[in-house]
Chains A and B, each alone.
Chain A
Amino acid sequence: MTTHTAPTRTAPRRTAPTRTAPRRTAPRRTAVLALAAALPMILLAGCSSAAEESTEGKTIELSVLDYYTDEPSHSNMEKRLTACAADVDATIDHQSVPSPQLNAKILQQISTKTLPDILMVNNPDLPQFAETGALRPLTELDVDTSAFYPSVLEVGKYKDELYGLAPNVNSLALFYNKTMLDEAGVAVPTTWDELGAAAATLTQGDRYGFAYSAASGTEGTWTFIPFLWSNGGSQLELDAPEAIEALDFYTGLARDGYVSKSVVNWSQADAKDQFTSGLAAMMINGPWQIPSLEETEGLEWGSTTIPVPAAGDTPIAPLGGELWTVPVTTPDREARAASVIECLNGPENQLETALTNNTVPSNESVAQELIAQAPLMESIVETVSTANSLTSDSGLKWNDVNAALSAAIQAAVTGQQTPEEALKTAQSTVGE
């Protein structure tokens, strides 16, 4: 019965085409249009699916992506890469993008599966990229890491797997103007009490005793982290008494007028400018500022580890640095990329980079060698030996912690909230 009725029901539909006949041109046209619109995408898709063939035993080209766009860093890095690649019968295709664009570029390459063979990432971003699964753990590639500072290896780890190696790291130290300290008869501060007293004494006229960066974002946050950590605080417990105490001391210096309230807009470079122009007697900053300090005529400066809450405490500063990682490709390419990274992390390369960029070698004995050759770096080498990776306690939550803590520091410096209120607000946004 049903089979009989079916044809009759469909019958009128068959006549339909005649009714819609004049309209037929319209769908055809849209189809052509759609095809024309899709054409570039089809072409693009064709490009990315290059055939993978065995490269075993052949000379190959390894692509490298980093953010060393400035000269001479770019050509120095290319020289080192080329020399290291020659050992594994490979050539180098070296690309650099400006640092603010590196993450966007990596994300784009991750989505199109066109990551380079060797990739540099900035250390706070490692958890994000390692989480995607696009990076190969270096432990699977037999990379020798025995000579490294354990703290430096932590920088390249995510979920207990080593993903990246930093030939060189940097951290933070206290820089002081020797002339000003001598004139005021102030000894180099080592504890918070001494730092507070020194800042008070050194504040004279339009000169502030102390300066740091409290700008929105990472620069302002990581400058505060040594105070948080040295006091036993954690990035994940921002409303704990240790954290409140640290923020109270740190921002209290600004509320008392020993630190300019403009620090909420100062980057680390701005803090350095205040220091070199004599408007601040001490500052928290990194060793990459040493060349500018040396260039400043008449500036007698020194540096030491960041003061700790009480005498005898260990200063714990955050580590920064560029990590070299191996994206997932073919076993042969990964193995060769890993040896290039191992070579980049070799003692000679580390020392050379340390001397040209004012960074600390991640190999302990090389770091000692650096102190012999560049005594100015002593305080920072000492800092690195007890430092921790910036994201060691927050991991994937670092971005939330960073934003919340940045707002808390600024609210406390400007007196908008008490340190306690500010950190409670911060913890509530991180805890979400």
Chain B
Amino acid sequence: MTTLLMSDKTATVRRAPAAGGAARVNRPRDTNSHRVIRRRQLFAWLFIAPAIVYVAIFFGYPIVNNLTMSFQDFTTTTFYTGEAPWVGFDNYVSVVSSALFARLSVNTAVFTILSLAVTFVIGMLLALFFNAHFKLSGLLRSLILLPWLLPLIISAAVWRRMMDEGSGILNQILSSVGIGSVPWLTNPDVALFSIIIVNVWIGIPFTMVILYGGLQEIPTEYYEAASLDGATGWNSFRYITWPLLRPVVAVVLILGFVYTIRVLDIILALTGGGPANSTQTYATQAYQLSFVDFKFGVGAALSNILIVVSLLVAALQLRTSRRSNDLAG
């Protein structure tokens, strides 16, 4: 919608010097075109209006509300009396200065970056694998979508059983091979990585499907031409697939990042943030503060920090990918 407006504006700018060049002849037409442009702008706004209203009600209002709430002492009493005293940055200070904050930040970073990296690499390899058509590839590809089709709470509950230290199937298999049992969800040093494993398992189908779609778009002629010049295997990936896939990769990474950093259900179902806060992230702690402890102000402050972090990273990713696209193009 904004592009519509912008192209309209650039049109006026471009037309202006031409009009200036033949001022005498064009004067009547000039005012006429002004009116046309204005009317066109009016229609543009009318077309945008439903979207603006929608965004304002469903995105603008909650975000503004969350912002104001984070500067208030907003408790259960507020719901009844409507009184929420302004406390300035107190909520932010109490979030950042809490003993848990450093741990939350490390957990959130490790969880998000590792999940995203591993999911991306495996998703990419699978997409490349399925791009080489072979018998049953369609069937296998749809089977890989399975994690996506299951409700998250159910798959997390199954994983929790599988990862049980004593009776879980993972440890049964490991000990039958002679490796011994792994305290998947019970050891504070291991639990976060176990959750990353589950998150990767859930994230692979999405990554693979989008990347596979991107691969399908690349014309095979390029590969044929390149193979005549002797570029096959790694070289064809390095010089044809990767540059052409870049826009898709950017989408996968940005969406993946935003989806991963706010993961809540998997963690709650697997460990509830434990043991001993070792799997507590910004998202789970914000949930805990707001909806378990009823400290709505502090919870809002933490979720705003989460929003800012994901916005910053998304903007950064967009910029770098755009720049590299420009370079590539």
Chain A window 14-42, contacts with chain B (Cβ cutoff 8 Å), 1 for yes, 0 for no: 00000000100110010001001100000
Residue B183 interfacial (CB < 8 Å): yes
B167 within 8 A of A: yes
Contacts of B164 in A (CB 8 A): 262, 265
Residues of A within 8 A of B183 (CB): 261
Which of B2-10, B211-219, B271-279 is found at the contact surface with chain A? B271-279
- Is the pair A128, B186 in contact by a Cβ cutoff of 8 Å? no
Q: Which A250-282 residues have a C-beta within 8 angstroms of B? A: 260-262, 264-265, 279
Docked Cα-Cα span, A422 to B277, in Å, equals: 12
Q: Tell whether, in the assembled complex, residue B293 and residue A414 are in contact, meaning their CB atoms are under 8 Å apart.
A: no
Residues of A within 8 A of B166 (CB): 206, 260, 262, 279
Contact A425 B53 (CB under 8 A): no
**Chain B nearest Cβ from A266, distance in angstroms:** 9
Q: In this complex, what residue of A is CB-closest to B163?
A: A265
Q: Is B80 in contact with A110, judged by CB distance below 8 angstroms?
A: yes
Given contacts A132-B81, A262-B164, contact A416 B188 (CB under 8 A): yes
Once the chains bind, are A411 and B188 in contact (CB under 8 Å)?
Answer: yes
Looking at the complex, which one of A128, A279, A425 makes contact with B167 (CB distance below 8 Å)?
Answer: A279
A300 to chain B, nearest CB (A): 23
- From B80, B186, B270, give the contact of A262 (CB < 8 A): B186
Smallest CB separation, B313 vs chain A (Å): 28
| B-side contacts of A406, CB under 8 Å | 274
Q: Which residues on A sit within 8 Å (CB–CB) of B292?
A: 217, 399, 403
| Known interface pairs A33-B52, A279-B167; A110-B76 also in contact (CB < 8 Å) | yes
CB–CB B165/A36 < 8 A: no
Q: Which residues of B contact A22 (CB under 8 A)?
A: 38
Q: Nearest residue in A to B183 (C-beta to C-beta)?
A: A261
Centre residue among A133, A262, A399 by max chain B CB count within 10 A: A262
Shortest Cβ gap from B65 to chain A (Å): 13
Q: Within 8 Å of chain A (Cβ to Cβ): is B137?
A: no
Question: Is B176 an interface residue, CB under 8 A from the partner?
Answer: no
Give 1 or 0 for each of B237-248: 1 = CB within 8 Å of chain A CB. 000000000000
The answer on a CB contact under 8 Å between A410 and B77 is: no
Instruction: Determine whether the beta carbon of B294 is less than 8 Å from that of A399.
Output: yes
**Given the complex of chains A and B, what is the CA–CA distance between A131 and B294 in angstroms?**
12
Residue A377 interfacial (CB < 8 Å) = no
Not counting A133-B77, A414-B275, a sample of 8 additional A-B residue pairs whose C-beta atoms are within 8 angstroms of each other reads A111-B79, A111-B82, A129-B76, A132-B81, A133-B81, A216-B273, A414-B276, A416-B275
